[in-house]
Amino acid sequence: MNNNYELYKVFYWAAKTGSLSQAAKALYLTQPSVSYAIKQLEDSFGMTLFYRNSKGVTLTKEGAVLYTYIEQSHMFISLAEEKMAALKNLESGELRIGGSDSLFKHYLLPYLEDFHQRYPGIRLHLNHGTTPETISFLKEGRIDLGVVRMPIDDPQLEVRESIRLQDCFVAGARYAELKDTVLSLDMLLQYPIILFSRNSRARMTITELFQSYGYKLKPEIEVGSVDLLIEFARKGLGISYVTREFVSKEMEDGSLFEIQLDVQLPPTHVGIMTMRNMPLSSAASRFIELVQ
């Protein structure tokens, strides 16, 4: 037995209203169509589901048993429809984003604040990690989108280019004599270098640049966060490699200054990364629209 859902819907409204005409009105059908649908359902079960009388219809004992199940099914379907509408309208749901601490703090924070104010019913989940870790999060289905440094060369991923960033070396007052000096890479390596300890895109990029000039970049200090890179440079523990846009405040107040080099450090771009050919949730699509 595999009855059409529409037959059960007719049965539900006839039982709920006690009237074939009212059921027809609720479903935008003709009364003969409602009568025929109920007859089909009764024939399929081989049972009478309604008693007909001058006032309308009432459930038989067998019809009452069926109604207890159909009523619950109708309630769940209605709740499901309401839930889907809420998801579509961004009244509920979640948004899972992967990326580095520094990109969350210095780049995404204003967008996250704006999104939360617009759609307070959407729960935000932030997964912190390097670019390789964020790619793994995305492929494992743990996040909806990732915010990473480019380039990303992976046929499974789609990357939408966003802002441009420029990395640089910075130092604090202890190395003030270097302010008006242009250093070669060889000269720079005479000073203690502080780098991010994890396998980040920025770390890989600067390491490859030094290798291209025949130098091995070996940091004297490695730290686990960009905030520590900034703070260690301010304290005079060495020269840190950071993103210029992330230390604008420190450079304005003079607690840090940029080390000038005789080679050009390549710029980088931030990308919004998603799985290729995979549908995005309404929340993820709307967030990408805000960022771009």
pLDDT digits (tens, 9 = 90+) for 149-198: 988 889 999 999 989 999 999 999 999 999 989 999 999 999 999 998 77
Quick one: pLDDT at residue 2? 63
Alpha-carbon distance of 43 to 267, in angstroms, equals: 74
SS3 at position 136:
helix
Task: Assign 147 a pLDDT band (cuts: 50, 70, 90).
Answer: very high
Task: Assign 1 a pLDDT band (cuts: 50, 70, 90).
Answer: low
- For tokens 């440094």, the residue is 149
Q: Which helix (H) or strand (E) segment is 133 a member of?
A: helix 131-139
Domains and CATH numbers, the chain: 5-88 (1.10.10.10), 94-163+270-291 (3.40.190.10), 167-266 (3.40.190.10)
pLDDT tens-digit map of 70-125: 998 888 887 778 777 777 778 888 899 999 988 999 899 999 999 999 999 999 99
Alpha-carbon distance of 124 to 144, in angstroms, equals: 11
Strands (E), the chain: 50-53, 56-59, 94-99, 123-128, 145-149, 157-165, 167-171, 182-183, 193-196, 221-223, 239-243, 257-258, 260-261, 268-275
Q: What are phi and psi for residue 168, nearest 5 degrees?
A: -160, 170
